[in-house]
């Protein structure tokens, strides 16, 4: 066959290989290659192997073809490594294959090149939890002189960071002779993923060129590590820089809005998604459900859920958890039963939502039944969170001794959260003896846990044992532990305002405290009296009342009343469980000012209107 004809035939066969839409078509072309004596043409065989693996995951067929090829060159070997790296369960074979290749490769045609190492490194990162295989490939990278290649270097630092070794990742990054925007982004993502958000932000600021991935990496890093206010600030700066966010950016921002209760900004993000034609898929839909639920807007969350074209267990779990935390336990259970009717299998998170729904609604028997269903019907192994839900369920309902025996019968060691659930029940039902035991268990597990010390101090104070109170405070002083400060957030005009207990740093502090004075007089006329038993210390009654007067949620509500039109809803987020006194006072305030107040505390939502709360004082 003449050279021109041969080249045209090769070109035609390669085009056919690239256009084939079924594996049978590829097999027919393979037969044709054999008949035409082109089955050793490594260019065509490499194209065939790539098509088999990338389009049809026919990895065994691809390896069979490779084994029948005489003296396979580097490019064909790279195609197999690429195929193995992209096939779940076969990534570890990529390293074994590479080792055989370099052992057999005596000539330069099989020498590894810059295209060999990126898929090999990715395969090792996916298959092994240790950095050792990455280091071994790193040595090969240096040996074969590909360490200066920007693609190889970027993949190397990315794999080190995914294996949790940021020191090695940073060393690779600093030694790279050439860095592109992908290199910078990989390093920023790695730092953010490992929790070093400060270093990620600094590196971002030092970048010579930033793109959408750069901004998204920092925004996602802030959101994933709990820096929610910083997430929103970065998002605003990104908009000012003229960049259009993608779905990943917006989902991270929705997460921050959810945790801060920033409904206004969350709605803007929702509108942005709709205006730009983003599909309401499971990823975006679940984030919106979570945001609306955590802002107390459950009806809006359900609307998103109902509009989703496809719903999986993640979406169902999000709406079940949202209903549960907002006190709509019976609805949460109905959604769960509907999910089961649809043939979807619940997961761990689904059952957390169901058990929380039972807990907040006081459905003890139903909760016990669902806990049994979890293990016996779905073969799910309960985690500490599920056990904590059960302890909370039993304890809140007054079955404190049963809750304690439930802990004693647990097959795994209870953690601080489990004992904390029992401690909370003991507070509600004034069981100081068992509560003291729970507090001591908590302090054994976490000597810096403020809740345990606070309960013990309050227990001593209620018994008039001021020496006991002083002993607890002395231990707290020696250990350097301080009670976690109460913090409340309120969003107005898309700006989130934060208040600490006793806070006077806000620009409107004078007006806020004047409003509190006004409310105090109105509350007294309504028959409200401060619950001084909520205060942790042996001080005079007047001082206790003053302490309650400046709790962070009261400051946030006063700020909201000053700065929003009459009759509009006030929405507050607090990091800790609301105290009995504040819960009582806010109910009176809602009646006095004729406003609905939604308070999300560390446990659940309280929808308060006309002096009544959705929790029915059961929280």
What pLDDT is attached to residue 422?
93
Helix (H) or strand (E) holding 573: strand 570-574
Q: For residue 537, is pLDDT > 70?
A: no
Pull the structure tokens for residue 309.
């074209």
Q: Of residues 186 and 533, which shows the higher confidence score?
A: 186
Least confidently predicted of 161-165, 406-410, 450-454, 494-498: 450-454
Beta bridge partners of 495: 492
Query: In this structure, what token pair is assigned to residue 204?
Result: 């971002």
Residue 562 CB neighbours (<10 A): 13
For 44-93, the pLDDT digits (tens) are 999 999 998 888 888 899 999 999 999 889 999 999 999 999 988 889 99
How many beta carbons lie within 10 A of that of residue 501, not counting itself? 18
Residue-range domain boundaries for the chain: 503-613
Give the per-residue pLDDT at 538. 40
Q: State the DSSP H helix or E strand holding residue 612, giving kind and residue range, or none if neither.
A: strand 612-613
Residues 349-371 have pLDDT tens digits of: 999 999 999 998 889 999 999 99
HSE (CB half, 13 Å, CA atoms) of 585? 28
Which percentage of the chain shows pLDDT scores above 90? 61
pLDDT at position 302: 96
At residue 596, the pLDDT reads: 95
pLDDT on residue 292: 96
Q: Which two tokens stand for residue 269?
A: 């993000």
Spacing of C-alpha 539 from chain mean position = 42
Q: How far apart are CA 395 and CA 605, in angstroms?
A: 19
SS3 content of the chain, % helix, strand, coil (to 5): 65, 5, 30
- The 3-state DSSP class for residue 577 equals coil
What whole-number distance in Å separates Cα of residue 177 and Cα of residue 617? 65
Task: State residue 464 phi and psi, 5-degree precision.
Answer: 75, 15
**In the prediction, which pLDDT does 105 show?**
58
Q: Which two tokens stand for residue 134?
A: 């990455």
What pLDDT score was predicted for residue 108? 63
| Closest to 232 in 3D by CA, of 256, 248, 216 | 256
Point out which residues pair with 606 in neighbouring strands.
599
- Classified as helix, coil or strand, 426 is helix
- DSSP per-residue codes, 467-527: HHHHHHHHHHHHHT--PPPPEEEEEETTEEEEEETT---STTHHHHHHHHHHHHHHHHHTT
Residues in the chain: 619
Per the prediction, the chain carries an average pLDDT of: 89
Of residues 77, 78, 83, 33, the one with CA closest to residue 55:
83
Band of the pLDDT at 531, cuts 50, 70, 90?
low
Q: Find out whether 46 and 79 touch, Cβ atoms under 8 Å.
A: yes
d(CA 267, CA 257): 9
Answer whether residue 570 shows pLDDT above 50.
yes
pLDDT value of residue 5: 66
Mean pLDDT of 395-417: 94
3-state SS class at 539: coil
Instruction: Give the residue-averaged pLDDT of 288-313.
Output: 94
Q: Is residue 2's pLDDT more than 70?
A: no
Residue 120 has pLDDT above 60, yes or no: yes
The torsion angles phi and psi of 447, rounded to 5 degrees, stand at -60, -15
Residues 500 and 486: their CA atoms lie apart, in Å, by 6
Place 511 in a pLDDT band, splitting at 50, 70 and 90: very high
599 pairs with which residues across the strands?
Answer: 572, 606
Give pLDDT, residue 157.
94
Q: Alpha carbon of 273 to those of 269, 280, 287, 371: distances in Å? A: 6, 8, 12, 38
Does 387 score more than 70 pLDDT? yes
For residue 392, give both structure tokens. Answer: 């909370």
- For 240-265, what is each residue's pLDDT tens digit? 999 999 999 999 999 999 988 889 99
Q: For position 539, what pLDDT does the model report?
A: 39
pLDDT at 234 over 70: yes
pLDDT of residue 544 exceeding 50, the answer is: no
286 pLDDT above the threshold of 60: yes
**Exposed, middle or buried by CB within 10 Å (0-12, 13-18, 19+), for 593?**
middle
H/E stretch holding 600 reads strand 597-600
* Entry pTM: 0.78
Max mean pLDDT among 39-43, 243-247, 499-503, 511-515 falls in 511-515
Q: What is the pLDDT of residues 194-226, one digit of tens each?
A: 899 999 999 999 999 999 999 999 999 999 999
Q: Write the pLDDT tens digit of every residue in 466-484.
A: 787 787 777 777 776 666 7
Angle at 486 (CA atoms; ends 264, 592), nearest 5 degrees: 65
Residue 315 DSSP SS3 = helix
Is the pLDDT at 327 greater than 80? The verdict is yes
Complete edge-to-edge strand list for the sheet that includes strand 612-613 = 495-500, 487-492, 570-574, 597-600, 605-609, 612-613
Residue 543 pLDDT: 40
């Amino acid at each position: 066959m003449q050279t021109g004809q041969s080249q045209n035939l090769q070109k035609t066969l390669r085009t056919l290989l690239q256009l084939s839409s079924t594996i049978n078509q590829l097999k027919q072309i393979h037969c044709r290659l054999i008949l035409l004596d082109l089955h050793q043409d490594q260019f065509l065989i490499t194209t065939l192997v790539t098509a088999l693996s990338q389009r049809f995951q026919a990895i065994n067929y691809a390896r069979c073809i490779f084994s029948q090829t005489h003296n396979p060159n580097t490019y064909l070997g790279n195609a197999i490594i690429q195929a193995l790296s992209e096939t779940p369960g076969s990534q570890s074979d990529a390293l074994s294959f590479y080792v055989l290749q370099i052992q057999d490769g005596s000539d330069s045609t099989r020498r590894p090149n810059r295209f060999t190492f990126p898929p090999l490194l990715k395969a090792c990162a996916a298959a092994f939890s240790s950095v050792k295989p990455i280091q071994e490939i790193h040595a090969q990278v240096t040996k074969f002189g590909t360490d200066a290649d920007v693609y190889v270097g970027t993949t190397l630092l990315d794999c080190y960071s995914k294996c949790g070794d940021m020191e090695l990742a940073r060393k690779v990054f600093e030694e790279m002779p050439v860095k592109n925007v992908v290199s910078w982004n990989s390093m920023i993502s790695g730092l953010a993923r490992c929790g070093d958000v400060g270093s990620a932000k600094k590196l971002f600021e030092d970048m010579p060129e930033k793109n959408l991935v750069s901004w998204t990496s920092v925004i996602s890093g802030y959101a994933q590590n709990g820096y929610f206010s910083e997430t929103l600030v970065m998002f605003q700066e990104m908009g000012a820089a003229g960049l259009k966010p993608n779905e990943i950016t917006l989902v991270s921002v929705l997460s921050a809005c959810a945790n801060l209760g920033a409904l206004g900004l969350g709605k803007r993000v929702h509108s942005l998604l709709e205006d730009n034609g983003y599909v309401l898929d499971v990823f975006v839909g679940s984030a919106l459900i979570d945001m609306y639920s955590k802002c107390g807007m459950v009806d809006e969350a359900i609307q998103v859920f109902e509009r989703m074209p496809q719903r999986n267990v993640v979406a169902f779990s999000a709406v079940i958890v949202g209903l549960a935390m907002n006190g709509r336990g019976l609805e949460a259970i109905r959604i769960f039963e509907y999910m089961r009717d649809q043939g979807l299998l619940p997961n761990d998170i689904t059952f957390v939502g169901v058990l929380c729904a039972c807990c907040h609604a006081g459905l003890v028997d139903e909760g016990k039944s669902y806990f049994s269903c979890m293990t016996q019907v779905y073969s799910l192994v309960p985690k500490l969170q599920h056990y904590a839900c059960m302890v909370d369920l039993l304890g809140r309902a007054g079955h404190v001794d049963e809750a304690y025996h439930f802990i004693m019968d647990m097959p795994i060691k209870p953690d601080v959260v489990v004992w904390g659930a029992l401690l909370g029940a003991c507070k509600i039902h004034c069981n100081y003896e068992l509560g003291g035991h729970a507090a001591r268990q908590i302090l054994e597990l976490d000597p810096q846990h403020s809740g345990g010390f606070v309960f013990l101090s309050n227990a001593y104070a209620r018994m008039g044992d001021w020496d006991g109170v002083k002993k607890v405070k002395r231990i707290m002083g020696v250990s350097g532990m301080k009670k976690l400060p109460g913090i409340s957030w309120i969003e107005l005009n898309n700006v989130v305002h934060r208040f600490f207990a006793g806070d006077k740093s806000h620009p409107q502090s004078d007006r806020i405290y004047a409003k509190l004075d006004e409310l105090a007089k109105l509350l007294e006329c309504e028959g409200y009296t401060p619950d001084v038993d909520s205060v942790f210390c042996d001080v005079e009654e007047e001082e206790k009342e003053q302490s309650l007067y400046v709790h962070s949620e009261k400051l946030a509500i006063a700020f909201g009343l000053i700065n929003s039109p009459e009759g509009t809803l006030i929405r507050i987020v607090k990091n800790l469980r609301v105290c009995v006194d504040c819960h009582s006072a806010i109910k009176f305030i809602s009646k006095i000012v004729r406003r609905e107040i939604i308070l999300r505390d560390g446990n659940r939502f309280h929808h308060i209107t006309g002096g009544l709360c959705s929790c029915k004082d059961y929280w």
